[in-house]
Amino acid sequence: MSAPASTRTIVVLPTYDEAENVGRMLAAVRAAAPSADVLVVDDNSPDGTADLVEAVAAELGQIKLLRRPGKHGLGSAYRDGFAIALDEGYTAIVSMDVDFSHDPAVVPELLRVLDAGADAVIGSRYVPGGATVDWPLHRRLLSRWGNRYTSLVLGLPVRDCTSGFRAYRAEAMAAIDPTSTSAEGYAFLTELVRRLVARGYRVMETPIVFADRRYGRSKMSGRIVAESMLLVTRWGIGDIVARVTRRRR
């Protein structure tokens, strides 16, 4: 039998101004998944997040840090982080937010689903058992209806395309080549789901309870939401055009 997907796991954590969360999160990830390495991708956070990561790394070990020169967005941070994970030969890649919206205690469950045969598993707010707590009504509505729109327009069998709490089998990640994506914000996450599904990979969802950040400031912006809706609409129209062109031929 081949080795389980989680044999060599890396947890990729994008950070921007997470000084209040990052130390606690690194300790929590270590406690939840002691054999996993961690890669923090920091965009020169003005609050000194990267220096804190270095101090914790010296203490805990198995923590790498990619310092980028400036804020280039979540999509771009993941592109760089995933490229390093693939280059270094990890077999499973986990992604999660550092603000404790994603509970690190769920990481072993994601890896279990991967080891049971999934190519990717999404921690989902919108499958039975999943939920969002503490978020103001407008954020809940935006996320819920944004995800309904996304699944419908793109015909994806996934309820939570914008959840960043995931685990991927490295072969599947390599096949969809994340470096060739273009979205800046969380539309990047939808882009990956779309590519995985198009290639016939097995994408599963496991319920999570998503909590609002307790410390630090939100980086969500109207521009990022607009990018996501625009790209989903553009991809959806592209799919329709491709289907019609195929039928005409």
Ligand X SMILES: Nc1nc2c(ncn2[C@@H]2O[C@H](COP(=O)(O)OP(=O)(O)OP(=O)(O)O)[C@@H](O)[C@H]2O)c(=O)[nH]1
> Quick check: 163 binds Mg ion (CB under 5 A)?
no
CA atoms within 13 A on the CB side of 21: 25
Residues that bind ligand X in the complex, under the rule CB under 6 A: 14-16, 18, 41-43, 71-74, 77, 97-99, 101, 186, 213, 218-220
Task: Answer whether 74's CB lies under 8 Å from 164's CB.
Answer: yes
Give the C-alpha separation, 14 to 17, whole Å. Answer: 10
Which residues, in sequence order, are CB contacts of 235 under 8 Å at separation 6+?
A: 153, 154, 194
Q: Kindly tell me which of 119 and 143 has the beta carbon lying closer to ligand X.
A: 143
Closest CA to 80 of 135, 15, 163, 129: 15
- Nearest approach, Cβ of residue 19 and Mg ion (Å): 15
Stretch that binds Mg ion, among 39-47, 50-58, 97-105, 157-165 (CB under 5 A): 97-105
Stretch that binds Mg ion, among 63-71, 101-109, 161-169, 231-239 (CB under 5 A): 101-109
Q: Kindly tell me which of 6 and 163 has the beta carbon lying closer to ligand X.
A: 163
Take residue 210 and report the two structure tokens written for it. Answer: 């998503």
Partner whose binding site includes residue 71, from Mg ion, ligand X, none (CB under 5 to 8 Å by kind): ligand X
Partner whose binding site includes residue 6, from Mg ion, ligand X, none (CB under 5 to 8 Å by kind): none
Give the C-alpha separation, 201 to 204, whole Å. Answer: 10
- Nearest approach, Cβ of residue 98 and ligand X (Å): 4
Give the C-alpha separation, 133 to 94, whole Å. Answer: 23
Partner whose binding site includes residue 98, from Mg ion, ligand X, none (CB under 5 to 8 Å by kind): ligand X
Partner whose binding site includes residue 146, from Mg ion, ligand X, none (CB under 5 to 8 Å by kind): none
